[in-house]
Amino acid sequence: MNAGRSRNPRSRRSGVVVAVAGAVALTTVTAPPAQAAPTGIVVSNVVVNNGKPIVVGTKEAKEPPVTFQVSLPPGLSTSKPSAYDAKPFLYRGAKLPKNPDNDSLRMGIYTCYPVNDWQERCEGTLFIDPPYDLASNSYATTWKVGLTLRLWKPDGRLKAEEFKKASGSVQLKRWAKATVNASPEPVKKGKKLTVTGKLTRADWTKHKYTAVAGSARLQFRKKGSSAYTTVKTVKSNSAGALKTTVTASVDGYWRWTHNGSSITGPATSTADFVDVR
């Protein structure tokens, strides 16, 4: 995993969080202040991906936004950020990983802005690279929030380190895709129109998109209108194939839309225009 950190202790500005494209439904992660520990650092108000699930494909790296707050113990100051390090990470399972730097989804670049001498607010991103970070489809599950807290000596050597749990969770989902094809085109009014398509989703084991069986809604938008109406719901077969017939009445656009599930993101196909004569 690629990770980095940037600090600008003298800067002050409002935090900016950018939503991940294609995210469907993912949970606000708010961590209450942690209890004082060997480092004495407290991390709170962790929010991952604006409270939405993180939906990841097979190749494209994702950088879900993360914001959090840091409170320092006596002896540390935001004017000397090189003396400490505090950041969240995501992990699976009941126990914290023995080595969060290798066995978790970690922060990428982030920046912290001092509120006063002992508090700062931070914003940045996670860095998720599917070919390297997601080795199994079982990773599509609920991830918990952990904290990495470190103190550094003036010479750069590690002084103290702790990994802690924080409240909250976030769902990681497999990106889904849908296709559509309506035929014949054009079609005579009152004749049957066959609408086919296919549902696939990211397979993190095979590193490609594979078929998924699930329900999809066939929707229609009349030419000149901006609203889609659900015509019927169809279940794809084991190969992900969708197929149904409808009666052609007016010119318009047809598409398939899939709501997704607890482990799969939603998907909507592009629209296929059909000329009815």
pLDDT at 220: 98
pLDDT at 84: 97
pLDDT at 6: 57
Report DSSP letters for the chain, one per residue: --------TT--------PPTT--S-----PPPPPP-TT--EEEEEEEGGGS-EEE-SSS-B--EEEEEEEPPTT--TT-GGGEEEEEEEE-SSS--S-TTTSSEEEEEEEEEESSSSEEEEEEEE-B-HHHH--SGGGSSEEEEEEEEEEE-TTS-EEEEEEEEEEEEEEEEE-EEEEEEEESSSB-TTSEEEEEEEEEEEETTTTEEEE---EEEEEEEETT----EEEEEEE--TT-EEEEEEE--SSEEEEEEE---SSB--EEPPPEEE-B-
Nearest to 267 by CA among 242, 238, 243, 248: 242
In this predicted structure, the answer to whether residue 4 has a pLDDT above a threshold of 60 is no
pLDDT per residue as tens digits for the range 132-172: 999 999 999 999 999 999 999 999 999 999 999 998 899 99
Nearest to 268 by CA among 180, 208, 164, 188: 180
CB 119 within 8 A of CB 70: yes
Q: What is the mean pLDDT of residues 244-259?
A: 97
Identify the structural domains of the chain with CATH numbers, from first to last: 42-173 (2.60.40), 176-274 (2.60.40.730)
Rounded CA gap, 48 and 67, in Å? 7
Rounded CA gap, 55 and 140, in Å? 9
Could you check whether the bond before residue 73 is cis, i.e. omega within 30 degrees of 0?
no
pLDDT per residue as tens digits for the range 179-228: 999 999 999 999 999 999 999 999 999 999 999 999 999 999 999 999 99
Q: What is the mean pLDDT of residues 10-22?
A: 32
pLDDT per residue as tens digits for the range 76-116: 999 999 999 999 999 998 899 888 877 899 999 999 999 99
Mean pLDDT over the full length of the chain? 88
% of the chain with per-residue pLDDT over 70: 87
pLDDT at 55: 98
CA 250, 251, 253, 256 dihedral sign is: positive
User: Of 21-25, 71-75, 244-248, which gets the smallest average pLDDT?
Assistant: 21-25
CA 93, 164, 166, 2 dihedral sign is: negative
pLDDT at 23: 33
Which residue type, as a one-letter code, is found at position 127? F
